[in-house]
Amino acid sequence: MHRVRGYKREKMRENELSLELLARLKSAQRVVALTGAGISAESGLPTFRGNGGLWKKYKAEDLASIEGFLQKPDVVWEWYEYRRSIYAQAKPNAGHLALAEFEKIFPGFTLITQNTDGLHRMAGNENILELHGSLRRNRCHSCGKLYPEKVEQNGKIPPRCACGGMLRPDVVWFGEPLSPFVLDKALEVSSRAEVFFSIGTSALVQPAATLPLLARRKGAALVEINIEETPLTSQADFFLRGTSSEWLGKIKERIV
Ligand code: OAD
């Protein structure tokens, strides 16, 4: 662990959770965790950037965009079908399960996720803000009507809505706004957090990336868990280098 701001920055070895962090957690009520694709990596789901970030010759960032969908709706639909086929076999891992325990331990725990895989709900969390929507639903690109994940294709890729519009996953793409309700709630809980965890996210995508900074500015202890440093690391009070399952498991054991 590297501890920053007000502490001497020092390298932490295995099994050395700082007493300062544990004390903050033991007295905390309002705890927020922001998760990204890294937490699901150990469930076998590819992350968006780095290794596993390419599908065929396409970059995930180009496919998860409104421009990508309008230019190549069939390719984008097939990419999501591919992702769904992997997601269908995925199970929550120890990191997800520890965060489900956090919801029982901290009276005011909110999970904010950029993931669309539904694994946090499967693990048992209920108070979840899905910033980027959910792959478990589709919606009509034209009229907005919601559909379940599995829909009749009738030979069309992507399948069509009753209105004739193209169906797409009910997720937020680059170039699209987040749900104002979900974003407002995320801003509110982040600004009131006593401890804020940023877990398995490259902290590059806005507006999610502003949430940890907002929380810290408003007085939260900022804890980052990642296998590598990110643009957020220099702002973190506690940087836990390693996998989310490893660190969240250790933290859970020490605070129950
Ligand atoms: P990224 O793929 O950008 O980042 C994944 C992060 O997880 C990286 O920083 C990795 O170092 C880290 N990581 C990988 N395995 C890990 C593990 N086992 N434990 C801990 N950390 C690990 O994914 P996101 O930050 O989630 O948006 O990407 C944010 C958004 O960009 C996504 O929601 C998606 C994407 O384009 C949309 O689709 C709109």
Angle, alpha carbons 88-39-211 (nearest 5°): 120
**pLDDT over 90, % of the chain:** 80
pLDDT band at residue 49 under the 50/70/90 scheme: confident
The pTM (predicted TM-score) of the whole model is 0.90
Distance, in Å, from the CA atom of 193 to the CA atom of 108, rounded to the nearest integer, reads 9
Best mutation site among 113, 225, 226 for ligand 1 pocket (most ligand atoms within 8 Å of CB): 226
Q: What is the pLDDT of residue 55?
A: 73
Any domain includes 164:
no
Report the 10 Å Cβ neighbour count for 47.
18
CATH of the domain at 120: 3.40.50.1220
pLDDT band at residue 16 under the 50/70/90 scheme: low
| Helical H segments across 28-179, by residue range | 37-41, 60-63, 66-71, 73-87, 94-105, 119-123
pLDDT band at residue 54 under the 50/70/90 scheme: low
Report the 10 Å Cβ neighbour count for 206.
9
Which range marks the domain in which residue 26 is found? Answer: 1-44+92-132+177-256
Q: What is the pLDDT of residue 101?
A: 98
Strands 167-171 and 146-148: unpaired
> Are 115 and 35 a contacting pair, CB within 8 Å?
yes
244 CA → ligand 1 middle, Å? 12
Over residues 210-241, the pLDDT tens digits come to 999 999 999 999 999 999 999 999 999 999 99
Q: What is the pLDDT of residue 6?
A: 43
For the annotated catalytic residues, the residue numbers are 132
For residue 47, is pLDDT > 90? Answer: no
Q: What is the DSSP letter of 100?
A: H
Any domain includes 79:
no
Is the model more confident about 7 or about 69? Answer: 69
Q: Which residues form ligand 1's pocket by a CB distance below 6 Å? A: 36-38, 41-42, 47-49, 61, 64, 114, 132, 172-174, 200-202, 204-205, 225-228, 230, 243-244
Smallest CA separation from ligand 1 atom 32, residue: 114
200 Ramachandran zone, left/alpha/beta (phi>0; psi -120 to 50): left
Distance, in Å, from the CA atom of 24 to the CA atom of 245, rounded to the nearest integer, reads 21
131 CA → ligand 1 middle, Å? 14
Atom number in ligand 1 closest to CA 208: 29
Over residues 73-88, the pLDDT tens digits come to 999 999 999 989 999 9
Any domain includes 1:
yes
Any domain includes 184:
yes
In the chain, the number of structural domains is: 1
Atom number in ligand 1 closest to CA 47: 2
For residue 150, is pLDDT > 50? Answer: yes
Any domain includes 25:
yes
Encoded tokens for 247: 């660190």
Any domain includes 17:
yes
Over residues 176-198, the pLDDT tens digits come to 999 999 999 999 999 999 999 99
Distance, in Å, from the CA atom of 60 to the CA atom of 119, rounded to the nearest integer, reads 20
Residue 205's Cα: distance from chain center in Å? 11
Smallest CA separation from ligand 1 atom 15, residue: 38
